[in-house]
A and B are shown apart, each in its own frame.
Chain A
Amino acid sequence: MEITTKKITSLRVEHITKRFPGVLASDDISLSIAEGEILALVGENGAGKTTLMNILMGLYQCDEGRILINDEEVKFRSPNDAFAAGLGMVHQQYMLVPNMTVLENIALGYKNAWFPFKLDMQMVSDRIEEVSKKYGLSVDPKAYIWQLSVGEQQRVELVKTLCLGARFLILDEPTSALTPQETDELIVLLKRMASELSIIFISHKLQEVKDLSNKIVILRHGAVVFEGNTNDHSPSDIAALMTGHEVELPQNDAPPCKGEVVLDIRDLNVKSDRGFLALKDLNLSIRSGEIVGLAGVSGNGQRELSEAINGLRKVESGEILFFGNNLANKSPHHVIEAGMGYIPEERNTEGIVPSFSMKENLILKDASHSEFSNHSFLKNKVIDQNATDLRVKFDIRSPNISVSAGSLSGGNIQKVILARELSRKPKFLIAVYPIRGLDLGAAEFIHKQLLEKRKEGIGILLVSEELDEILDLSDRVAVIFKGQIQKVLNRKDANRRSLGILMAGVKDDQTV
């Protein structure tokens, strides 16, 4: 079947504005992209990149502004309009139905194959083959999505957009879930496709922005702060423009610690939700007064590890020795009482009870303790005082202590969680993606707190996707890959290259 959409020689957005309650997501954004260009849309978390792309794809309606394709104004009321104009998007979270096949997922958008009482699957199948051959993207139409790996699913998404006639491709954080090797493959593929299509991709990874794009637009707080050619600027220039000032998060430059091993994980085997082993004979030990960073592409067992340590997931075999006591398969309450502090990955659903007030959240783990309750009756005055003190100490910006925790901004929610955990005087802290999505001010505060606790002799396991954060804070860096610790490097040996290789699964660095 012929590709029926017109070639897109130019795409412009002018003065796009979009508001959500309390947030100006897009602030008078204008940008343009010409035929065959690859534009990188760059910015920190929350800068408004995904919102803008969703407007382009007809998923959101802009409050003001317009979109022009080939110099004609277009109105996209739904994704169908965007498809008809030749736009296609691969979202950060793949838009695939897991319990349907590749064929069915693509048929879902392929309206030409829809007849009143019948689906012409053969037509869809032929189209898939045509696209696969043309771009060198092979997929198995009969496979169920849940059977495919993350990289394979992405390929399905690409094939899907091309089958639906995309002449203009939008990719949202395309490499966030890929290993460095898969990332290289993708970059080669996209460069090849650029000869036929224009591409916008969203990223906050400066290296691939440099590798792939020829034009760059930087967003900050919903507005365009910079537009230019990629080749004219260095990564550090771009980074500075992204954040607004020189990147200056606190660094760990203290001497290596000499403390005892306090958390000793031995031969740990833990299953994932799907039933197969997420952690395989994992070994890791952490001393008091040291920060061990856990680096790795998300999905390699980080979640299962932090859950297992905190009693939230069953341990099939192995031990988790905490100050000599085995915590494996004990209840979360037991682990908490043993002195474990935990800043979980999802602050809104795991860290706080959003409908409860700030002061109530601060006693979440201690409601029964004699400190806050007398024979089960809550000591309201003490609870209030506790909240007032912590609010000051941790600089939590909120109207008062009775406001619902869910209404606070991300940074302040994280501060509430941090305040609660640290005020309990934990013997150890597990921090999972602690500054994800936060502004620099909050991030700086949290990193400072972590470094202080380290000085006080508390051991910290820092799980993060951001190599910068890991490199800034860690004494030692452990790389996790497919449920095992590949290697643990000392701070001086850890850098982007050495970590990148380990994250891809290569155990020994053969190519020094």
Chain B
Amino acid sequence: MTKQFRIIYKVSIIILAILAAMLIGAIILWAIGADVLKTYGVILFEPLKSTLQLSEVLLRAIPLTIIALGISVAYRSGIINIGAEGQMAMGILGTTAIALLFPDLPRAVLIPMAVLSGAVCGAFWGFIPGILKAKLQVSELLSTVMLNYIAAQFYTFFLRGPMLDPAEITMGSGTPQSMRLSKNLWLDRFLPGTRLHTGIFFALILALLIYLLLWKTSFGYKMRAAGASSRAARYGGINVTWYLVIAMAISGAFAGMAGAIEIAGVHRRAIEGITGGYGFSGIVVALFGGLHPAGIIPASFFFGLLIVGADMTQRMVGVPANMVNVLQGIIILVIVATKMILADPYLMEKVWRKYQKRTHRLKEVQA
């Protein structure tokens, strides 16, 4: 089998996968009578047409990157984290609490403290399913999902209660949100006319750190071994359950930090709906990015594009913004199926042999 064949084979499969995904999405679009090509055009290209929209894409990419980095750490360590939504919410609560309690601390102190608080709260929320799996063999798939719902309730409770904006009480409008947080917390917006903030650099630094951690340290090596083959890792003296818990805590911390950055950079107060599906989108981004920082960064951009694009489709082609969840679901299904096809040596050999028979027959005919 030639190397050339291998490359062509793999690329063709990926192209077929992309087409399959677009086709399934097209079915749904057809069901609601939308113009399929125009819709895809809006989702994929419209946001790129102005600086403002582009900055919104990058804005979405920031929390996506951070969350996906955390999820990839967990995934590579052998545990699947579906709980980023809840961990992000807990992170926001932590950040808001610090900002409400210490509004007068200087920026250089408040911001790190607040982000740290977000990380700690997120880490705690990730630690729970981790330890449940390690000690009691509770499936993390189920526990993280349950914790998402529980966190959502905590979030609402605090926002309607202890953290409620005093102004809301007096005005009686009842919007569950905290008051505007101290300016000392705000991250700089460096692109005038847009909301793009310095958190983007933070995200890039985190990506670098994760790369170094997983591939350049013995700590990361052990995490990856535990995830790749927990049995062999255990036989090799690696404490698999411990790394599992740490991985979940790191994953949660990242989701918490994503929440902190969103508060400090974008909203400047705790409101409902911030997590807005980032937790689930983060999973898709992680998978799409091959669970590697170098892939996650462009993947976050792509999915930021999808999210902003889908926001625009309601106005421009009458397609509800929920379409983005449809696409994300399709992409997950297609990615996992494609991965299996690419990893199947039998199939590749069968195709190779058929191809050889074809070309030999051609050669015989030509001879």
Q: How many Å from the CB of B66 to the closest CB on chain A?
A: 23
**In the complex, which of the residues B224, B229, B237 has the most CB atoms of chain A within 10 Å of its own CB atom?**
B237
For B235, give its contact among A344, A354, A355 (CB under 8 Å): A344
For B229, give its contact among A333, A335, A349 (CB under 8 Å): A349
The stretch of A258-266, A268-276, A371-379, A435-443 that contacts the partner chain: A371-379
Point out the residues of chain A lying under 8 angstroms from B35, CB to CB. Answer: none
A351 close to B (CB within 8 Å): yes
Point out the residues of chain B lying under 8 angstroms from A331, CB to CB. Answer: 237, 239
A250 close to B (CB within 8 Å): no
- Give B8-31 interface residues, CB cut-off 8 Å to A: none
Docked-complex contact A360 and B234, CB < 8 angstroms: no
Give the complex CA separation of A312 and B235 in angstroms. Answer: 7
Docked-complex contact A356 and B228, CB < 8 angstroms: yes
- Give B190-224 interface residues, CB cut-off 8 Å to A: 216-219, 221-222, 224
Docked-complex contact B236 and A365, CB < 8 angstroms: yes
**In the complex, which of the residues B221, B224, B349 has the most CB atoms of chain A within 10 Å of its own CB atom?**
B221
B276 close to A (CB within 8 Å): no
Given contacts A367-B221, A373-B217, A377-B216, contact A353 B234 (CB under 8 A): no
Nearest B residue to A331 via CB reads B239
B339 close to A (CB within 8 Å): no
Q: How many Å from the CB of B290 to the closest CB on chain A?
A: 14
Point out the residues of chain A lying under 8 angstroms from B345, CB to CB. Answer: 21-22
Interface string of A430-460 (1 = CB under 8 A from B): 0000000000000000000000000000000
Q: How many Å from the CB of A79 to the closest CB on chain B?
A: 21
Docked-complex contact B231 and A368, CB < 8 angstroms: no
Give the complex CA separation of A76 and B222 in angstroms. Answer: 48
Tell me the interface secondary structure of chain B in the complex: helix
A83 close to B (CB within 8 Å): no
Point out the residues of chain B lying under 8 angstroms from A344, CB to CB. Answer: 235
Point out the residues of chain B lying under 8 angstroms from A352, CB to CB. Answer: 229, 232
Point out the residues of chain A lying under 8 angstroms from B349, CB to CB. Answer: 21
Interface string of B103-121 (1 = CB under 8 A from A): 0000000000000000000
Docked-complex contact B231 and A355, CB < 8 angstroms: no
Interface string of A360-372 (1 = CB under 8 A from B): 1000110110001
For B346, give its contact among A21, A349, A356, A368 (CB under 8 Å): A21
Docked-complex contact B232 and A351, CB < 8 angstroms: yes
What's the interface size class on B, roughly?
20 to 34
Docked-complex contact B346 and A364, CB < 8 angstroms: no
Q: How many Å from the CB of A273 to the closest CB on chain B?
A: 14
Give the complex CA separation of A374 and B225 in angstroms. Answer: 19
Given contacts A367-B222, A373-B217, A376-B217, contact A336 B228 (CB under 8 A): no
Docked-complex contact B237 and A354, CB < 8 angstroms: no
B233 close to A (CB within 8 Å): yes
Point out the residues of chain A lying under 8 angstroms from B229, CB to CB. Answer: 349, 352-355
For B218, give its contact among A20, A22, A312, A376 (CB under 8 Å): A376
A484 close to B (CB within 8 Å): no
Nearest A residue to B346 via CB reads A21
Docked-complex contact B228 and A353, CB < 8 angstroms: yes
Docked-complex contact A312 and B217, CB < 8 angstroms: no
A332 close to B (CB within 8 Å): yes
Q: How many Å from the CB of B223 to the closest CB on chain A?
A: 11
A428 close to B (CB within 8 Å): no
A161 close to B (CB within 8 Å): no
Give the A interface residue count (CB, 8 A). Answer: 31
For B219, give its contact among A21, A342, A372, A376 (CB under 8 Å): A376
Interface string of A374-388 (1 = CB under 8 A from B): 001110000000000
Interface string of A305-339 (1 = CB under 8 A from B): 00000101000000000000000000111011100
For A353, give its contact among B216, B218, B225 (CB under 8 Å): B225
Docked-complex contact B232 and A353, CB < 8 angstroms: yes
- Give B248-267 interface residues, CB cut-off 8 Å to A: none
Point out the residues of chain B lying under 8 angstroms from A378, CB to CB. Answer: 216-218, 221
Q: How many Å from the CB of B241 to the closest CB on chain A?
A: 11
A389 close to B (CB within 8 Å): no
Q: How many Å from the CB of B208 to the closest CB on chain A?
A: 14
Docked-complex contact A350 and B221, CB < 8 angstroms: no
Given contacts A21-B345, A356-B225, contact A373 B218 (CB under 8 A): yes
Docked-complex contact B218 and A350, CB < 8 angstroms: no
Give the complex CA separation of A91 and B233 in angstroms. Answer: 32
Point out the residues of chain A lying under 8 angstroms from B346, CB to CB. Answer: 20-21
Point out the residues of chain B lying under 8 angstroms from A355, CB to CB. Answer: 228-229
For A368, give its contact among B216, B218, B224 (CB under 8 Å): B218
Point out the residues of chain B lying under 8 angstroms from A22, CB to CB. Answer: 345
Docked-complex contact B231 and A349, CB < 8 angstroms: yes
Q: How many Å from the CB of B17 to the closest CB on chain A?
A: 22
Given contacts A364-B225, A367-B222, contact A353 B217 (CB under 8 A): no
Given contacts A21-B346, A353-B228, A353-B229, contact A333 B239 (CB under 8 A): yes
For A364, give its contact among B231, B236, B239 (CB under 8 Å): B236
Which A residues contact B (CB, under 8 angstroms)?
Answer: 20-22, 310, 312, 331-333, 335-337, 342, 344, 349-356, 360, 364-365, 367-368, 372-373, 376-378
Known: A22-B345, A353-B233. 14 other contacts (CB 8 A): A21-B348, A312-B234, A331-B239, A336-B236, A342-B235, A350-B232, A350-B235, A351-B235, A354-B229, A360-B221, A364-B225, A368-B222, A373-B217, A378-B217
29 contacts between A and B (CB under 8 A): A20-B346, A21-B348, A21-B349, A312-B234, A331-B237, A331-B239, A336-B236, A336-B237, A349-B229, A349-B232, A350-B231, A351-B235, A353-B225, A353-B228, A354-B228, A354-B229, A355-B228, A356-B224, A356-B228, A364-B233, A365-B236, A367-B218, A367-B221, A367-B222, A367-B225, A373-B217, A376-B217, A377-B217, A377-B218
Which B residues contact A (CB, under 8 angstroms)?
Answer: 216-219, 221-222, 224-225, 228-229, 231-239, 345-346, 348-349
